[in-house]
Structure 1
């Protein structure tokens, strides 16, 4: 089937955040199912390029060799075309002029900030024209809020949409005071419900979000993100590194709260339990915490694989209201590293998954202690392999 996949970022830019990470894995699964794909990204350098695809597949069918296993080889598949019209600004919080322009537009248009910050700028019209041209003769799948918004403005039929989050939940939890005064949560609630009524099918990365959308009257089906387990990291050392890891942009509000918990009450409780472990922090802005007594490394990393080789356990202490999934939990699983996370995040991904569950700082420290003693070491590698993009259907109706 000919598919036009609409995402936020060019998925060849692995440094731009979690949505591109998810899209690369969905695209890998769709390619493995035999669909003819091309990608339109909401923002990115203008022009066309290709997303390289690595495929891992058996050289011969298992039954043909009469053994319990068959060798696997890496096959370089032809890349998927990526097209972008120009650089639509996705992050404008540090630009006072743009913020004023967006606010004035909100007063006139009634749009929420999460729409107006895209539609107010010239590059948006170019992206709309690009999608109108590329959608002809193709089934359109949108992934994430910006892609869905673009498809609405392009007036193209949407076969399926993948909701990465319920954006209204984020607005209610994290909107700054200025946006609250402009009624951002109520505006976004109306816009999100309207847009989610457009696709033929709606999927949610989070099981909890699927239930939330069903309660809105939007029929939504949960979808598991296919994974790309890394062969070089599958056989981890018998003794994992004696370190705790956290990776993510420090300025993103949920990450800021998580870091405050990890470096504050979790750290203090570990001291009380006499558990001596070092922290490895990675991601833009984490270098600000390099002087913390437990931190041994902090700051951006050139390759995430380097980070995961240095850590024995990933900690995701995001407590409170949750939407979407934790991409970093799945990324850690691909590298064979277990995670400590709250029950709500575990439920969103897979309630039966190989997790260490902790719902507050004290429980987080105690879960780390059990892992350190070897009392609970989750079987993360076989779980990740069972969700391989090359053997597990994406499950998208398109």
Structure 2
């Protein structure tokens, strides 16, 4: 089948966050199913380039989560999926980031007053590059079934007047606005505007799938029929590196300035750290991502800041902690990424249920439970088989079911 896949960001730009991580795996899954796929991204540099698809999934019979040394490097044969690259096209001239640009924010706010659009629409439609993106999608959608991934892609498809065979809902955007919209946007009615726009857009595709099992339930309450989609994974072999005498490391990776991450870091380095200290648990923290270097002076932070590669981060950590308490939408990409590297995660029940209610998780609902779960793992009382779980969801074997 000929498919035009519409993403928010160019999926070859790994530094732009979790949506691209999901897109790269879904694209690999579509290619594994034999589809002829090309990508149109809503934003990105103009022109055409290629996304390499070269995925290796490694089998490892040892329990997941254990530290290794070069002497215990896995020798089991690998399962490889190698396919030609996928073409990516962007029209360009749409800003990738506007939150720190006062001039653009004023322009968006003025447009919201005139148009009645929510911020999440106007941040795209209010710039001259939007018309070029519409023209590009109209041209590339001809003769192909259109799949939109994330809110901006669906917005672009509606504005371009093209039919959408399937839409992949990464989040319920209204939930994010209810939880995190800043006061100026709330005064402009962002939450209500966004709810109306989101419900309108979700009526456009022939089929809606959601990354989160929880979001399927939320959409059903709106009268939107959606089904959960399993994100295929790319299990990899990572050899842990630990300095002699170093304590086991708890890991956190993500942009420190994103509001959910900021809250999670405050919990991890505050009450979770305090509880672990009370329990006399000798553990270090390894933080990775933009602005995490601001926590370098914390007494138990071993390293922080931007890393050269995700694999470098997972070589240094033994357990990932995702203390996002409260309302959540979508999935935690970092939990899936950790599972690909054989690293277990501690996370709240809602985030676990969003990915897989029966998955191999360490569940904790608050700081005290998080510290207690870490201690159980430290003692070897609970070591979830995450790598085995990830291999069962490998990109070469997990069907997407995007087209029913």
Does TM, normalized by the shorter one, top 0.5?
A: yes
Computed over aligned residues only, the root mean square deviation of the Cα atoms, in angstroms, reads: 1.8
**In structure 2, how many angstroms separate the alpha carbons of the residues matched to 1:46 and 1:166?**
29
Structure 1 residue aligned with 2:259, among 237, 240, 253? Answer: 253
Normalising by structure 2, we get a TM-score of 0.92
Q: Hey, what does 1:381 align to over in structure 2? A: 387
**In structure 1, how many angstroms separate the alpha carbons of the residues matched to 2:12 and 2:56?**
19
Q: Hey, what does 1:67 align to over in structure 2? A: none
Which SS does the other structure have where 2:104 is aligned? helix
* 47-56 or 36-45, larger mean C-alpha shift: 47-56
**In structure 2, how many angstroms separate the alpha carbons of the residues matched to 1:278 and 1:385?**
29
Q: CA deviation at 1:76?
A: 3.5
Would you say 1:178 and 2:184 are equivalent positions?
yes
**In structure 1, how many angstroms separate the alpha carbons of the residues matched to 2:110 and 2:8?**
25
Q: Hey, what does 2:41 align to over in structure 1? A: 41
**In structure 2, how many angstroms separate the alpha carbons of the residues matched to 1:241 and 1:86?**
47
Pair 194,237 (structure 1): closer, same or farther in 2 beyond 3 Å = same
Pair 357,57 (structure 1): closer, same or farther in 2 beyond 3 Å = closer
Q: Hey, what does 1:200 align to over in structure 2? A: 206
Would you say 1:168 and 2:162 are equivalent positions?
no
Corresponding residue pairs, total = 385
Give matches, 1:232-247, under 5 Å: 232-233=237-238, 242-247=248-253
Q: Hey, what does 1:226 align to over in structure 2? A: 232
Q: Hey, what does 1:332 align to over in structure 2? A: 338
Q: Hey, what does 1:3 align to over in structure 2? A: 3
Give matches, 1:360-371, under 5 Å: 360-371=366-377
User: Mind listing any 5+ residue stretches in structure 2 that lack a counterpart?
Assistant: 59-75
Which SS does the other structure have where 1:381 is aligned? helix
The question of whether the paired residues in 2 share the 8 Å contact of 1:90 and 1:117 is answered with no
**In structure 2, how many angstroms separate the alpha carbons of the residues matched to 1:73 and 1:159?**
31
Q: Hey, what does 2:85 align to over in structure 1? A: 79
**In structure 1, how many angstroms separate the alpha carbons of the residues matched to 2:105 and 2:131?**
19
Q: Hey, what does 1:152 align to over in structure 2? A: 158
* 6-15 or 188-197, larger mean C-alpha shift: 6-15
Q: Hey, what does 1:51 align to over in structure 2? A: 51
User: Mind listing any 5+ residue stretches in structure 1 that lack a counterpart?
Assistant: 59-69
Pair 55,168 (structure 1): closer, same or farther in 2 beyond 3 Å = same
Deviations 1:208-251 (A, max 9, x none): 00010011000010111110111x32x76999971000000001
**In structure 2, how many angstroms separate the alpha carbons of the residues matched to 1:303 and 1:367?**
28
Pair 314,73 (structure 1): closer, same or farther in 2 beyond 3 Å = closer
Q: Hey, what does 2:397 align to over in structure 1? A: 391
Pair 52,110 (structure 1): closer, same or farther in 2 beyond 3 Å = same
**In structure 2, how many angstroms separate the alpha carbons of the residues matched to 1:285 and 1:7?**
26
Q: CA deviation at 1:74?
A: 3.7
Which SS does the other structure have where 1:344 is aligned? helix
Q: CA deviation at 1:47?
A: 0.7
Which SS does the other structure have where 1:86 is aligned? coil
The question of whether the paired residues in 2 share the 8 Å contact of 1:203 and 1:223 is answered with yes
The question of whether the paired residues in 1 share the 8 Å contact of 2:247 and 2:284 is answered with no
Normalising by structure 1, we get a TM-score of 0.94
Pair 181,384 (structure 1): closer, same or farther in 2 beyond 3 Å = same
Structure 2 residue aligned with 1:280, among 280, 286, 304? Answer: 286
**In structure 2, how many angstroms separate the alpha carbons of the residues matched to 1:175 and 1:100?**
16
**In structure 2, how many angstroms separate the alpha carbons of the residues matched to 1:75 and 1:197?**
35
Give matches, 1:55-66, under 5 Å: 55=55
Q: CA deviation at 1:91?
A: 2.0
Deviations 1:245-283 (A, max 9, x none): 000000100000000000100011111111110000000
Q: Hey, what does 1:263 align to over in structure 2? A: 269
Structure 1 residue aligned with 2:325, among 319, 330, 336? Answer: 319
**In structure 2, how many angstroms separate the alpha carbons of the residues matched to 1:314 and 1:16?**
21
